[in-house]
Amino acid sequence: MTTIVENTTNVNEILQLVSFKIGNEEFGVDILKVQEINRMLNITEVPNSPKFVNGVVNLRGRIIPVIDTRIKLNLPIIKHDHKTRIIIVELKGKTAGFIVDEVSEVLRIPKNITEAPPAIISGINSDYIIAVAKLEERLLILLDLEKILSTKETETLEVIQ
């Protein structure tokens, strides 16, 4: 009698990502976390909100806090343009928008082309980074948006909504 043991790790596992740019860096997030991608909307400032919160938007009757991803990643602030987008995501059961410079594409990449992140990439705290994908002529930094915000910051977003 022969026993067959199945390998539970799928070497051909595919990651589906939304890729976007902030400055010269390209990032990716799990497509399952992304609810939608919008052009810049009118953002209403909220008094006494944290510096990284640009304000809130009314998206089809839902009030959604909008986070300036550049501020959270300690990158220089720039003026928004026609390429600027708000990526609407689900974070710990709450909906939030992240402002990015440009959304690039939806990618399907094999998981085996990713590596654990080095300690520091471009000055970004590596706690946010899941992996780095080696694409043909570029690197894609895979982010965990839930880790960009601390638990306290996520609770602050609840108050703003």
Question: Tens of pLDDT along 76-85?
Answer: 999 999 999 9
As a whole number, mean pLDDT of residues 28-41 equals: 94
What is d(CA 121, CA 43) in angstroms, rounded to the nearest whole number? 30
Other beta carbons within 10 Å of 11: 8
Query: Structural domain boundaries of the chain?
Result: 14-160
What is d(CA 87, CA 18) in angstroms, rounded to the nearest whole number? 9
Instruction: Look at the pTM and tell me if it is higher than 0.85.
Output: no
What is d(CA 49, CA 66) in angstroms, rounded to the nearest whole number? 11
Closest alpha carbon to 134 in 110, 100, 103: 110
What is d(CA 112, CA 14) in angstroms, rounded to the nearest whole number? 9
What is d(CA 150, CA 148) in angstroms, rounded to the nearest whole number? 7
Identify any residues that bridge with 62 across adjacent strands, giving them in sequence order: 59
As a whole number, mean pLDDT of residues 127-132 equals: 85
Express as a percent the part of the chain with pLDDT over 90: 55
Statement: 14-160 belongs to CATH 2.30.330.10:
no
What is d(CA 30, CA 103) in angstroms, rounded to the nearest whole number? 14
pLDDT at residue 92 in the model = 78
As a whole number, mean pLDDT of residues 42-59 equals: 92
Instruction: Share the mean pLDDT of the chain.
Output: 84
Instruction: With H, G, I as helix, E, B as strand and everything else as coil, classify residue 72.
Output: helix
Q: With a cut of 50, say whether residue 57 has pLDDT above it.
A: yes
